[in-house]
């Protein structure tokens, strides 16, 4: 994943200033409000324990009884709650810098509305869907919309952070424009598509600030599990004094509170909100706007990726690589005819044919009086009619054969062999003919992007199946699929075929992701579980998808899947670590409570702590300190390596399960040694 600072949003995401730290500390206190705390059952129990022990310490002080120990416990519990709130506040603060730059992009926007043959200037907030606004060079686009007339170069740096201008044109799949971007050249008419306050920038700001962050299904399920565990331990602790009476052991309320706080999963309870927010932030650092946290998380569960060939798997600009003459025609004659047919062809393929022919010595002569015949979807060929009456055409084999037969031109017997050889090699065959004969075939190679094969192998190791969608014939599609390393392909595909394939995959119980940018991709983007729309695409595509790539890079979908996987793994790893911690804290506190009255409990006192008071304090201090210690890991995410579910589970159990048991033993013992050295054995 590219994390270079050339993207403005990435720079903001990576920077954590002193001001952001101050805001996070302030928000940690603001989140102490009971209504807010109740959303996190685990930390709400800790807050109740804090209030209870604080009240007990004040009561003891008023009666002249020992109160310092109770107050210290209350302070440690209070710090534990603050650290949990701080973890969430830090994750939210990282997004505020991003939101500030986005908010600046939409401020003070004014639109020049065209109505009844007249212009009127209106604040952007007063523009409504279907209004037509005119935007000229050096003016900002006031609202989200579609270009209905004109073509312009647009600077989208305010949104994407990318300084290179992009081209937007009416009637194409790149007609969508965003409020706050600047027109650099020409003049365009834009039809407004968004209500005030519901623009792309508004949604981005709300998502970045977390105002619309809803818990994902997995996060909700884990929250319920943590609440259930908390309830179980609460029942155990409440019934413990009655059980202790049989051993003539009296357990202090403060110790019971400390035991409860150490046994409930406070670590994951404190870090859970931060993990979800950080997942969305990591997507944003990759310049991907997720419309919900659910979309990021769902990306980690994807089974099938549908990818367009052109521009995603291949470079997209096919280049002429070879001239193959047929039926005894001379290669120089084929080169000359291909050159003449392509001199006025504005496409990258046409320009590459001209470059290759000229590099091999072909010349065109004077064609100023000739008529260029442009390519059309109906004819599937293009060419030139020379002033001499000679006609030259290049195009698909079937189109040229049909044209040649109309002109009573014989079709060479070896043409199909040449076409098949090129197609089997993964290139596209382009047949050339003139009035007198079919001359041969041009090979147009669609180059597979560097590193794509390795990325597909990485996805395969994660259990994700890749399917290439292309309009090429099956032979060409099969060759490119083999070279790129995809698992399957769909050849000669039409837009409706994408939708049908997604539904077929989902009918078999798979989660499907796809990428698209055109209006005709909107149904498939909406149907897919993860629909990644290109920022350069139409408004319909961006509305249909649940993610938008600001860089308009179709391969970004591969990174999105990895971000989702990392989010799920991070949550699972820290949950495992948190639950494993409870084992060590159990061995720290339980023996300290009962060993004096029940000598047999000494077998459990494997830590040999200096005393019951120090044991409780050491466990509480570790319980509080581990939350801020894990904040960087929660924000950054656990390092991710592709592998099977079994290998990932084994790694988590070994690293975070065993580590979660061993680390507290060591840390609590060290804290106890410090307490014993400072205050003595207690």
Alpha helices in 245-292 (DSSP H): 253-263, 266-285
pLDDT value at residue 283: 80
pLDDT at residue 10 is higher than 60: no
pLDDT band at 611 (very low <50, low <70, confident <90, very high): confident
Phi-psi bin for 324: left (phi > 0), alpha (psi -120 to 50), beta?
beta
Q: Provide the annotated binding site for ATP.
A: 345, 349, 375-382, 394
pLDDT at residue 15 is higher than 50: no
Report the chain's C-alpha Rg in angstroms: 33
Helix (H) or strand (E) holding 393: strand 391-395
Per-residue model confidence as pLDDT tens digits over 554-603: 677 778 888 888 888 888 889 889 888 888 888 777 777 776 667 667 77
308 is catalytic: yes
pLDDT at residue 106 is higher than 60: no
Quote the pTM value. 0.66
Six-digit token string for 572: 């699972």
- DSSP code per residue over 14-43: H---HHHHHHHHHHHHHTTSHHHHTTSHHH
Where does 399-449 show beta strands of DSSP type E?
Answer: 427-434, 438-445
pLDDT band at 2 (very low <50, low <70, confident <90, very high): very low
Q: Provide the annotated binding site for Mg(2+).
A: 517, 521
List 167's β-bridge partners, or say none.
Answer: 153
pLDDT at residue 639 is higher than 60: yes
Per-residue model confidence as pLDDT tens digits over 70-98: 999 999 999 999 999 888 888 777 656 55
Out of 131, 173, 202, 308, which one is annotated catalytic?
Answer: 308
C-alpha 349/C-alpha 344 separation (Å) is 12
pLDDT at residue 4 is higher than 60: no
Six-digit token string for 166: 């992009």
Per-residue model confidence as pLDDT tens digits over 513-533: 988 777 777 888 888 888 888
- The answer for residues whose C-beta is within 8 angstroms of residue 618's C-beta and 6 or more apart is 588, 609, 668, 669, 671, 672, 675
Cα dihedral sign for 169, 172, 173, 177? positive
Q: Provide the annotated binding site.
A: 345, 349, 375-382, 394, 517, 521
Q: Which residue has the higher pLDDT, 596 or 252?
A: 252
Q: Tokens 């022919």 map to which residue? A: 357
Find the mean pLDDT for residues 4-13: 35
Six-digit token string for 379: 């004819």
- Inter-residue contact 571 to 648 (CB < 8 Å): no
pLDDT value at residue 81: 93
pLDDT value at residue 408: 59
Per-residue model confidence as pLDDT tens digits over 397-421: 888 888 877 655 667 888 888 988 8
C-alpha 503/C-alpha 515 separation (Å) is 15
Per-residue model confidence as pLDDT tens digits over 203-232: 666 655 554 455 667 778 888 888 898 999
């Amino acid at each position: 994943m590219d994390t270079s600072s050339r993207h403005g949003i990435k720079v903001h995401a990576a920077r954590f200033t002193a001001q952001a730290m101050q805001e996070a500390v302030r928000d940690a206190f603001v989140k102490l409000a009971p209504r807010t705390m109740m959303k996190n059952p685990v930390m709400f129990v800790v807050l109740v324990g804090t209030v209870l022990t604080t009240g007990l310490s004040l009561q003891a002080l008023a009666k002249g009884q020992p109160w310092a120990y109770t107050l210290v416990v209350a302070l440690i519990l209070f710090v534990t709650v603050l650290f949990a709130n701080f973890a969430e506040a830090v994750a939210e603060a990282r997004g505020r810098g991003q939101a500030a730059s986005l908010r600046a992009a939409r401020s003070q926007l004014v639109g020049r509305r065209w109505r009844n043959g007249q212009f009127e200037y209106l604040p952007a907030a007063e523009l409504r869907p279907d209004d037509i606004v005119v935007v000229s060079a050096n003016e900002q686009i006031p609202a989200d919309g579609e270009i209905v007339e004109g073509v312009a170069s647009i600077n989208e740096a305010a949104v994407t952070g990318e300084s290179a201008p992009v081209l937007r044109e009416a009637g194409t799949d790149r007609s969508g424009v965003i409020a706050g971007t600047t027109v650099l050249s020409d003049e365009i008419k834009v039809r407004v598509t968004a209500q005030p306050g519901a623009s792309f920038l508004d949604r981005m700001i709300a998502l970045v600030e977390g105002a619309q962050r809803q818990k994902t299904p997995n996060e909700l399920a884990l929250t319920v599990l943590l609440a259930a565990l908390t309830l179980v331990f609460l029942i155990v602790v409440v019934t413990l004094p009655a059980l202790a009476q049989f051993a003539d052991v009296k357990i202090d309320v403060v110790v019971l509170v400390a035991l409860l706080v150490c046994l409930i999963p406070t670590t994951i309870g404190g870090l859970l909100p931060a993990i979800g927010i950080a997942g969305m932030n990591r997507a944003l650092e990759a310049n991907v706007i997720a419309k919900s946290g659910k979309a990021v998380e769902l990306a980690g569960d994807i089974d099938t990726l549908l990818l367009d060939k052109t521009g995603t798997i291949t470079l997209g600009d096919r280049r002429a690589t070879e001239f193959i003459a047929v039926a005894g025609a001379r290669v120089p004659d084929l080169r000359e005819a291909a050159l003449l047919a392509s001199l006025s062809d504005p496409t990258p393929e046409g320009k590459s044919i001209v470059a290759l022919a000229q590099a091999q010595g072909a010349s065109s002569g004077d064609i100023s009086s000739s008529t260029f015949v442009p390519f059309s979807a109906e004819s599937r060929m293009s060419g030139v009619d020379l002033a001499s009456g000679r006609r030259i055409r290049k195009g698909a084999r079937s189109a040229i054969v049909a044209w040649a037969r109309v002109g009573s031109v014989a079709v060479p017997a070896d043409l199909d062999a040449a076409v098949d050889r090129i197609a089997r090699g993964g290139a596209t065959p382009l047949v050339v003919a003139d009035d007198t004969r079919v001359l041969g075939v041009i090979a147009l190679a669609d180059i597979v992007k560097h590193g794509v094969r390795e990325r597909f192998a990485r996805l395969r190791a994660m259990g994700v199946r890749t399917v290439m969608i292309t309009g090429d014939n099956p032979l060409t599609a099969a060759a490119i699929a083999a070279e790129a390393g995809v698992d399957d392909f769909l050849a000669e595909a039409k837009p409706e075929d994408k939708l049908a394939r997604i539904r077929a995959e989902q009918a078999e119980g798979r989660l499907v992701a796809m990428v698209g940018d055109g209006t005709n991709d909107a149904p498939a983007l909406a149907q897919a579980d993860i629909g990644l729309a290109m920022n350069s695409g139409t408004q319909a595509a961006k509305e249909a998808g649940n993610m938008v790539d600001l860089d308009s890079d179709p391969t970004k979908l591969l990174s999105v899947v990895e971000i989702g996987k990392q989010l799920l793994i991070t949550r699972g790893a820290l949950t495992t670590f948190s639950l494993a911690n409870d084992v060590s804290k159990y061995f720290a506190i339980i023996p300290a409570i009962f060993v004096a009255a029940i000598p047999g409990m000494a077998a459990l006192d494997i830590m040999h702590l200096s005393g019951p008071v120090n044991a409780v304090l050491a466990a509480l201090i570790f319980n509080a300190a581990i939350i801020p210690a894990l904040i960087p890991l929660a924000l950054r995410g656990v390092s991710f390596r592709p592998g099977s579910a079994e290998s990932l589970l084994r790694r988590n159990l070994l690293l975070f399960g065993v580590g979660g048991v061993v680390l507290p033993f060591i840390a609590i013992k060290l804290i106890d040694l410090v307490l014993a050295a400072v205050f003595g054995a207690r």
